[in-house]
Each structure stands twice: as structure tokens, then as C-alpha cells.
Structure 1
Amino acid sequence: MPALVGLWRRVPAAARYQIKCLTGNLRLSSAVFYSTQFPSSDVTVQYSHGLPVITLTLPSRNERCQFTIKPLTTTLGTFLTDIKKEDRGIDVIAATSTDDTKFSNSTLMDVLLMNDFKLVINNSTYHVQPPSRDKPCPQDSSEMDTIKTLVHRLYAALHQEEYQLNKEQELLKRLDSLKEQLQPLEQMKSMILSKSDAKTTRLMWIGLALMSTQGGALAWLTWWVYSWDIMEPVTYFITYGSAIAFYAYFVLTKQDYVYPAIRERQLLNYFYKRAKTQRFDVNEYNRLQEEFAETEESLRRLQNPLRLGLPIEQLNEKE
């Protein structure tokens, strides 16, 4: 802000007056001002105190209405919207070039008023001829670009705090809305996950019991029923069969036979089956979680002390 103040002081007095005329005493806004006059049928453009004044006839009341435009901040969409607000009887309104090419709503009025254009209101078409403006020399154009850059920087400096507050409120409202949407899904997910985890744990214990039973049966057959000479080939084929089963698992899942990964895979399998039964939308839950994380990250970046212009030590003391 001090740098902008210093830059503003270095601007000549004539340039300051021109900036104030263009921006309305530095209160940069897209609002327009109007006044009603005597009836007429054409659309005229005049300049008053450096600002263009567009006078047109409202179709419903057949009254003349003046709109004072701030060309550097007012867009065509804002201008047309204000005309419709003034006369509710307008159904169709648009601005086109002389060759019937429609202008977008984001077009600045400063650009529109450089050349002749057509204004279409309902079934009437008006040919608008703005007053000619002298073409600036390259030096004047460079100075004007500098002034425009200064205006934009001043606008950003004057409205930065307001924009950040509005954006912060918007992000906080979005977080509250996402929390309300996630709360029932979180409860359902917790219930499904707890039941799936219990079933997976039970399956792990069943596997341990089966392996223990197999080891006990082989020991009983080795020492009490048969001898080691008879059971050795049996244990070999059991071991080889286990190796085949592990390799088949790798071929089917493209993963190593690692017990934590197997447990996680089985848990997810049970979870998705139960979620389908309970009609739990996993994709919607993941989408809301991603949007919640993105909103939190945006809020954290917005509240960054560098963006707020606060010393980092001051923020640490508050924490």
C-alpha cells in the first residue's frame, strides 16, 4: 500500500484528474446512474465530465433515460442488465456490431464505444454512433497504459481486504455445507467399516486355526500313525501346493502374497459388498471428501499471513 501511495503521488495533477473522472473519485464500481428525460426515439452518446452518457427510450413508458457509464469498469452485460431493471417490459436486449456480430457480455464499455454499434431492444434496432475520440499518439498511449495499470493496482489494493473477507465467508459456508452432507455418510461408513473389520479379523483367526489343525494332523500322522519316511513326500507336495497357490494369487492380483496387503484387500472386499447392500454411495462420499479437502486447502492459503499482509511472528503469537 505505501508503494501505491508513492506511485499515486508521482502521477501529474492532470493525470490524477483524468483517473478520478474515469473511476468516479476512485470508487471503482460497475454501477450506473440514470435520470428520466423527454420522449424521443433514438439512442445518443454524449460525454459529460469525461464519462459517456447514453440516452435511450424505454419501450414500456416511452420515456428517455440516461445511463452514465464508467467505461473502464462497466461491462456490456452490466449495462444491459441495468436497462432491463429500469424497464421490466424489455424481453430481448443485445448489442451487435454494424455487421450484426453480437458482442459478449464481458466486453468493456470502453471498447464498445470506440466504434459504431447497434442496440437491439425487443423488436427495435437502434444505430448508435458514439462521438469520435482523437487517436492518441504512441507517447500518450503509453502514458494511458501506465495510468490504467495504476488504476487496476489501486482497485486491487482498495478492494483486496473486502474480497478476502467475502471469499473467506464463502469458503466457511461451503465447509459447513459439506460437513452437513458428510455427517450421515461418515456415520454409515464407520458402521460398515467396523463390521467389515470384524469379519476380516474373524477370517484371519479362522485361517490360523486351519493352519494349526493342518500342522497338528501332520504331526499325529508322522509320530503316531505312520513314519517320517511315509509322511515326507506328503509334506513335500503340501508345501509345493502352497507355493502354487501363492503364485496363483500373484497372477490374479498382481500383488505379492504379503499378509498386511491381503488383510487390507479382504477388508475392502467386505466393505464394498456391505456398502452395496446398505446403499452407501462410495463415489459420492469420495467426491465430497475431495471437495472438502480442496476447500480446506483454499481456506488455509487464503488465511496465509503473506496474503493477509501480516507478519508471520504475529500469526505465531496468536496461535
Structure 2
Amino acid sequence: MVHHRRAFQRHPNAFFCSAAVPSSEVSLKYKYDRLVLEVPLPSRNEKCVFFLRPMLMNVGDLISDLQKEDPGVTASVLSKYGERLSNSTLLETLLDKDFKLLLNDSVHDVCPPEKVNVSSEHAVQMEDMKHVVHLLHAALNTPEHHQIKERKLLEKLDSLKQELSPLEKMKANLTRKAEFHTSRALWTGMALLSVQGGALAWLTWWVYSWDVMEPVTYFITYATSIGAFSYFVLTKQDYLYTEAKDRQFLKYFYKGASKVQFNVTRYNSLREELAQVEDDLHRLRYPTQLQLPLEQIQRKP
């Protein structure tokens, strides 16, 4: 037999609500230039201060610290809309907005404080410290990929030197011949000017007089001026002895290179590539120089 009982008429509408009442006992603020979370521990009935590191800690680390301090607490972090956040969420991301901290059956609203502006001097000190830590890590713990990269650079360096070895011999031979021809051209010009001066003196004092030779010397000087101006028109350079000598050297060098089929462009490309590899190798060895012999650290002048 089923007996039907009439419901109480005094309270016709029933309201169900959670026992978790929002609380503001949790405070989050900056103290001693550190972010401090002040939380009431349920089991010990006292407040405890936790120093947070937003860039290094996540939600799981915060919950772990709470449980270490109070083993009887069950904690979780919720968004301001009541969604539970994963333990892998960084505190730096969490502190962008308000959130809720659930301790056992109590819900605490947490309002992150405004970010404190870090002075430029402190920022520079932090950057210097990070740089020093990076150098120490690289010096004491040589990464494996550095060793692989160094081995590849050494192999490439050896290959470039082997390829450049015959080209260097050809270049040295061409340089020696070009210098010889350039020097011969300079001495030939010197000899011609000496012969010209002696001939003019002989014609002036022994054959003719100065009245006859003066127009001749004038036109010789004028012809020399025309020759210097023609050099400027053709080369777009002033007639300077050092530049003229270098130009003559390059003329003989490229002429000899074409005869022996010496590829100047390929040689210059290999030299640039060799210099780049040497710079990369030196830059790679710089963090690990504590583990290298002294003769490998010092660069040759």
C-alpha cells in the first residue's frame, strides 16, 4: 500500500543553493616587490602567505604549495565565470583577469593587483643577469648540437682549404708575374723620361739654341697635359702614380689569368666562404672556450 502525503503548504517553493559562499578573505598584492597571496587555511584556521612567481609557476604549483602547507585542503582554481582551469595554466596568464580560488567548500574571489612598473635600471640588471646565466650554461653544459655544428664547420673548412690550395698557388704565380711586368713598365717609363730629358739638353746646348728648343719643350709639355686628361676621361680617375700602378697591375693579372684559365670570380667566392666559415667557427667556440686549448682560442693576427 502506498500512502500519499500532502506536501507542506507553508513553503510551496524550495530554493537550492551551494554552501560555497563567495568570500573576500583571500588577498593578492605586491609586497617587497614580490607578488604575495594571502590565503586562510581551513584546517589550521589561520592565514598563510605564499610568494608567487608568475613567470615560473602554474596553477598546479600553487595547488601543490597549498596542500603542502595544509594537507587537509582540497583546492582548485576557477575562472570568474566558474570554469575550472587546468593545472598547466601559467600564473602569468591567470593574473590577467579576476579568478576564483576554491578551498574545500569555500569560494574566494581574487582580484589581481595592477602590475608594478619595473624601473629601467632594474630591467637592465635583469637582462645582464640573464646574459650571464646563458653564458655560464653554455660554458658548463656544451649542447650536443654545438658539437655537431662544429664538426660540420671543420669538415667544410677542410674542404674549402683543399679546393683553394691549387688556386692559391696559381694566384701567387700570377701575382708574381703581374708585379714583374708592372715594375718593368715603371722602369721603362723612367728610362724614357731620362732619355727625353737628355735629348732635349743635347739639342739645346750642342745642336740648337734655347730660342729654337723653347717651342719644342712647350708642345711636349702640352702633349703631356693632353695625355693626363685623356687618362682621366678613359678611367674616370686622377692620374696618381699609386692608382696608375695598381691599375696596371690588375691589367697584367687579369691578362695572365685568362691565359691559364684562372677563375677569379670563383676564387673570390671561395675566399669569402672560407672567411665566413672561420667567423662562424670562432663564434661557435666562444661560449665553450673553457674546454678548448689556448692555441685554439686565440685568433691569429
TM-score of Structure 1 vs Structure 2, range by shorter chain: 0.5 to 0.7
Is 1:200 equivalent to 2:175 in the alignment? no
Q: What CA distance in whole angstroms lies between the structure 2 residues aligned with 1:204 and 1:286?
A: 28
For residue 302 of structure 1, report the CA deviation from its aligned partner: 1.3
CA RMSD of aligned residues (A): 3.7
Is 1:257 equivalent to 2:242 in the alignment? no
> What residue is the counterpart of 2:221 in the other structure?
239
Task: Provide closer, same or farther for how the CA distance between residues 13 and 145 of structure 1 changes in structure 2, counting only shifts above 3 A.
Answer: closer
Is 1:168 equivalent to 2:150 in the alignment? yes
Helix, strand or coil at the partner of 1:257: coil
Question: Which protein shows a greater Rg?
Answer: 2
| Percentage identity across paired residues of the two chains | 47
> What residue is the counterpart of 1:291 in the other structure?
273
> Superposed, which structure 2 residues align to 1:14-93 within 5 Å?
14=60
Task: Provide closer, same or farther for how the CA distance between residues 231 and 162 of structure 1 changes in structure 2, counting only shifts above 3 A.
Answer: same
> Superposed, which structure 2 residues align to 1:305-316 within 5 Å?
307-308=287-288, 310=290
> What residue is the counterpart of 2:198 in the other structure?
216
**Over residues 225-249 of structure 1, what are the superposed CA-to-partner deviations in whole Å (9 max), with x where a residue is unaligned?**
1111111111111111101110110
Q: What CA distance in whole angstroms lies between the structure 2 residues aligned with 1:258 and 1:179?
A: 37
Task: Provide closer, same or farther for how the CA distance between residues 202 and 143 of structure 1 changes in structure 2, counting only shifts above 3 A.
Answer: same
Helix, strand or coil at the partner of 1:284: helix
1:191 aligned to which of 173, 177, 190:
173
1:303 aligned to which of 276, 285, 290:
285
Task: Provide closer, same or farther for how the CA distance between residues 211 and 309 of structure 1 changes in structure 2, counting only shifts above 3 A.
Answer: closer
> Superposed, which structure 2 residues align to 1:65-144 within 5 Å?
141-142=89-90
Q: What CA distance in whole angstroms lies between the structure 2 residues aligned with 1:230 and 1:138?
A: 110
Helix, strand or coil at the partner of 2:143: helix
> What residue is the counterpart of 1:272 in the other structure?
254
**Over residues 44-73 of structure 1, what are the superposed CA-to-partner deviations in whole Å (9 max), with x where a residue is unaligned?**
xxxxxxxxxxxxxxxxxxxxxxxxxxxxxx
Contact 2:59 2:89 (C-alpha < 8 Å) held by counterparts: no
Contact 2:58 2:88 (C-alpha < 8 Å) held by counterparts: no
For residue 161 of structure 1, report the CA deviation from its aligned partner: 2.1
Q: Which amino acid aligns with 1:308?
A: T
Task: Provide closer, same or farther for how the CA distance between residues 249 and 169 of structure 1 changes in structure 2, counting only shifts above 3 A.
Answer: same
Higher RCO (C-alpha 8 Å, min separation 6): 2
**Over residues 100-135 of structure 1, what are the superposed CA-to-partner deviations in whole Å (9 max), with x where a residue is unaligned?**
xxxxxxxxxxxxxxxxxxxxxxxxxxxxxxxxxxx9
Q: What CA distance in whole angstroms lies between the structure 1 residues aligned with 2:220 and 2:168?
A: 45
Q: Which amino acid aligns with 2:230?
A: A
> What residue is the counterpart of 2:21 in the other structure?
none
Task: Provide closer, same or farther for how the CA distance between residues 174 and 283 of structure 1 changes in structure 2, counting only shifts above 3 A.
Answer: same
Task: Provide closer, same or farther for how the CA distance between residues 139 and 246 of structure 1 changes in structure 2, counting only shifts above 3 A.
Answer: farther
Q: What CA distance in whole angstroms lies between the structure 2 residues aligned with 1:228 and 1:136?
A: 114
Q: What CA distance in whole angstroms lies between the structure 2 residues aligned with 1:173 and 1:191?
A: 28
Q: What CA distance in whole angstroms lies between the structure 1 residues aligned with 2:89 and 2:60?
A: 15
For residue 298 of structure 1, report the CA deviation from its aligned partner: 0.8
2:264 aligned to which of 265, 272, 282:
282
Q: Which amino acid aligns with 1:165?
A: Q
For residue 143 of structure 1, report the CA deviation from its aligned partner: 5.0
Helix, strand or coil at the partner of 2:237: coil
Task: Provide closer, same or farther for how the CA distance between residues 269 and 309 of structure 1 changes in structure 2, counting only shifts above 3 A.
Answer: closer
Task: Provide closer, same or farther for how the CA distance between residues 14 and 191 of structure 1 changes in structure 2, counting only shifts above 3 A.
Answer: same
